[in-house]
Amino acid sequence: MHELPDDSLADLMPLAKKVANALGSENYNILQVLHQFGEVMFVDHVHFHVIPKPNKEEGLIMKWDNKGPSQEHLDAVFEKIKKNVKL
C-alpha cells in the first residue's frame, strides 16, 4: 500500500464503503493487512476485507492487550510521526 500513488489510494476507501453498502451492513469492520510474516505474496497487490458485524458475537472480534505501551513509548512514536509526516 505504501508504494501506491496517493490518487490510487483515494479511490480505495470509497470503494470499500460501496462494498459494505452493497452487503447491507450498518456495522462492519474494514481490515487491510500489509504483510503476513512468513507468507509469500505471489502477486503484489492491495485489498481490503469488508467484514459485516451483525452483532457483538458475530463478525470480526478483536481483543487488545490491555497492558498497552508506556507513555514514554507513545510520546516517542508521536514525535517520530510529527517529524516525518508532512501535511
The answer to whether residues 52 and 25 touch, using CB atoms and an 8 Å cutoff, is yes
Q: Tell me whether residue 49 is one of the annotated catalytic residues.
A: no
Catalytic entry in 2, 35, 45, 47? 47
The count of other CB atoms within 10 Å of the CB of residue 20 is: 19
End-to-end CA distance of the chain: 19
CA 52 – CA 76 distance, rounded (Å):
35
- Give CA separation, 51 vs 41, 55, 68, in Å: 22, 12, 26
Q: Which residues are catalytic?
A: 47
